[in-house]
């Protein structure tokens, strides 16, 4: 299941990766087509050299796009190279030009799924003209061949293909723009909902702190004075109950609106969470916390840390938990890993669909805000959860 997800993420990341992956079987098809036709090449050694260099370059390019993002111009440059190589193969192949005909139809299709209609139109038109130019060149070189009428028919089909792929690219671009707009609206709605939730929590925390908590503290102080005047075990019991209630109320106020997060930032907030976690659970904590300042998404990251630590304490049965907090470029990354009992990551999605909050709700918030939460776990093998924030301004301190 995890391999399927990684494969899906690889294909969905960038269209250039899909093109790079499809290029290798295309090269294999070119070799098979020419071999099946068994034609006499005009320049066989040069033909083999071009095809070999093309195959090596395709492998190197695939490795490059897998390892990381590539510039936008590199994508269309690779497409131009594809067309140049195919035309060069036709020019040096002689009779194999007819065998390479299907390739001229496949190339525009490889560009059509991208959201660049202009590139699709240009590439489709140049492909049709390139095919016609190759046949004109070949007919001039060999008078016995001439220029078959079928070539003009093929040229007409390729022009139609250029128009069709451009229209398809326009539709895909419109849908992509629409999807982007909807995602932005969703992000704004989730952001506003979180801000509203934060304001509500702050108001409730201030009300509890200034009202019931102060009343309890005052009552405890008066009771303490009464205990000094009259030694009574009943007063001691009431004093203990008031003390425990006040401590619980302080904890509730801190959870609703952690002052350390607002005043000192995310790193200090996570450090305080770890301190509280160690006082409540017999679990060794290994923490590597970089100073990340006050990122715009610190409330979201803080909630993630609190939820993940709560799950470790309640469900994991772990002996050790590792917590890392680091800024990488314009992202803040929180990693929580434990050596506990683990769980099936598929349960998260099913629990959210069933109306249960927790990890599923947290993961949905990260997705909606433009971040991500990656879960690695298996029964009996612990878990590792990586929460990545939405893009942050790099100059935030």
3-state secondary structure 122-180: HHHHHHHHHHHHHHHHHHHHCCCCCCCHHHHHHHHHHHHHHHHHHHHHHHHHHHHHHHH
Instruction: Specify which of 33-37, 116-120, 188-192 reaches the highest per-range mean pLDDT.
Output: 116-120
Measured CA angle at 301 (ends 296, 304), to 5 deg: 155
Residue 309 has pLDDT above 60, yes or no: yes
Residue 195 has pLDDT above 70, yes or no: no
Please say whether the dihedral angle defined by the alpha carbons of residues 137, 143, 149 and 150, taken in this order, is positive or negative.
Answer: negative
Residue 48 has pLDDT above 70, yes or no: yes
Does this model's pTM top 0.85? My answer is no
Residues 230-250: what's their mean pLDDT?
78
Three-state SS at 236 = helix
> Of 24-38, 91-105, 311-325, which range is least confident?
91-105
Confidence of residue 324 (pLDDT cuts 50, 70, 90): very high
Pairwise CA distance, residues 319 & 340, whole Å: 7
CB distance 78 to 125 below 8 Å: no
3-state helix, strand, coil in the chain (%, to 5): 70, 10, 20
- 309 by Cβ neighbours in 10 Å (0-12 / 13-18 / 19+) ranks as buried
Domains for the chain: give ranges and CATH numbers.
2-186 (no CATH), 259-388 (3.30.565.10)
Residue 4 has pLDDT above 50, yes or no: no
Residues 218-229: what's their mean pLDDT?
79
Instruction: Specify which of 41-45, 75-79, 281-285 reaches the highest per-range mean pLDDT.
Output: 281-285
Residue 175 has pLDDT above 60, yes or no: yes
Confidence of residue 335 (pLDDT cuts 50, 70, 90): very high
Confidence of residue 1 (pLDDT cuts 50, 70, 90): very low
Residue 396 has pLDDT above 50, yes or no: no
Consecutive H or E run containing 281? none
Pairwise CA distance, residues 1 & 372, whole Å: 18
Pairwise CA distance, residues 308 & 375, whole Å: 11
Residue 258 has pLDDT above 60, yes or no: yes
Q: What is the pLDDT of residue 350?
A: 58
Measured CA angle at 179 (ends 174, 184), to 5 deg: 130
For 341-388, write each residue's pLDDT tens digit: 888 777 666 555 444 456 777 877 888 778 888 888 877 788 899 999
Pairwise CA distance, residues 184 & 84, whole Å: 39
Of 314, 297, 294, give the one whose Cα is nearest residue 359: 314
Residues 321-327: what's their mean pLDDT?
91
- 339 by Cβ neighbours in 10 Å (0-12 / 13-18 / 19+) ranks as middle
For 126-141, write each residue's pLDDT tens digit: 888 888 887 787 777 6
Q: What is the pLDDT of residue 108?
A: 80
Consecutive H or E run containing 42? none
Structure tokens at 335: 């990693």
Consecutive H or E run containing 110? helix 101-112
Average pLDDT, the chain: 77
Please give the distance of CA 351 from its chain centroid, rounded to a whole number: 22
For 62-116, write each residue's pLDDT tens digit: 888 877 666 767 767 777 888 888 878 777 776 555 667 777 777 787 777 677 7
CB distance 344 to 317 below 8 Å: no
Q: What is the pLDDT of residue 325?
A: 92
């Amino acid at each position: 299941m995890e391999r399927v997800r990684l494969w899906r993420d690889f294909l969905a990341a960038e269209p250039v990766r899909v093109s790079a992956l499809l290029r290798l079987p295309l090269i294999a098809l070119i070799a098979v087509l020419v071999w099946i036709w068994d034609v006499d090449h005009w320049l066989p050694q040069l033909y083999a050299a071009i095809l070999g260099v093309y195959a090596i370059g395709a492998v190197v390019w695939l490795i490059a796009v897998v390892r990381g993002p590539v510039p936008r111009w590199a994508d269309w440059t690779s497409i131009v190279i594809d067309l140049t190589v195919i035309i060069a193969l036709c020019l040096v192949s002689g009779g194999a030009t007819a065998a390479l005909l299907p390739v001229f139809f496949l190339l525009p299709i490889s560009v059509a799924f991208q959201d660049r209609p202009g590139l699709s139109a240009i590439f489709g038109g140049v492909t049709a003209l390139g095919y016609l130019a190759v046949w004109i060149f070949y007919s001039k070189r060999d008078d016995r061949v001439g220029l078959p009428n079928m070539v003009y028919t093929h040229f007409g089909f390729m022009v139609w293909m250029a128009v069709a792929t451009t229209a398809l690219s326009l539709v895909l671009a419109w849908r992509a723009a629409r999807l982007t707009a909807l995602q932005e609206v969703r992000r704004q709605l989730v952001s506003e909902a979180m801000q509203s939730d934060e304001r509500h929590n702050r108001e409730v925390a201030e009300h509890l702190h200034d009202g019931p908590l102060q009343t309890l503290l005052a009552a405890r102080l008066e009771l303490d004075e009464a205990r000094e005047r009259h030694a009574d075990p009943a007063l001691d019991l009431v004093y203990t109950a008031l003390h425990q209630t006040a401590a619980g109320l302080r904890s509730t106020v801190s959870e609703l609106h952690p002052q350390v997060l607002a005043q000192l930032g995310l790193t200090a907030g996570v450090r305080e969470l770890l301190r509280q976690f160690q006082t409540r659970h017999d679990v060794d904590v290994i923490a590597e916390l970089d100073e990340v300042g006050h990122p715009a998404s610190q409330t979201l990251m803080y909630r993630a840390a609190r939820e993940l630590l709560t799950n470790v304490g309640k469900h994991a049965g772990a002996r050790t938990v590792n917590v890392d907090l680091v800024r990488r470029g314009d992202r803040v990354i929180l990693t929580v890993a434990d050596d506990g009992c683990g769980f099936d990551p598929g349960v998260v999605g099913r629990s959210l669909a069933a109306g249960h909050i927790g990890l599923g709700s947290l993961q949905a918030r990260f997705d909606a805000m433009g971040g991500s939460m990656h879960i690695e776990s298996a029964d009996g093998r612990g878990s590792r959860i990586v929460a990545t924030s939405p893009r942050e301004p790099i100059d935030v301190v």
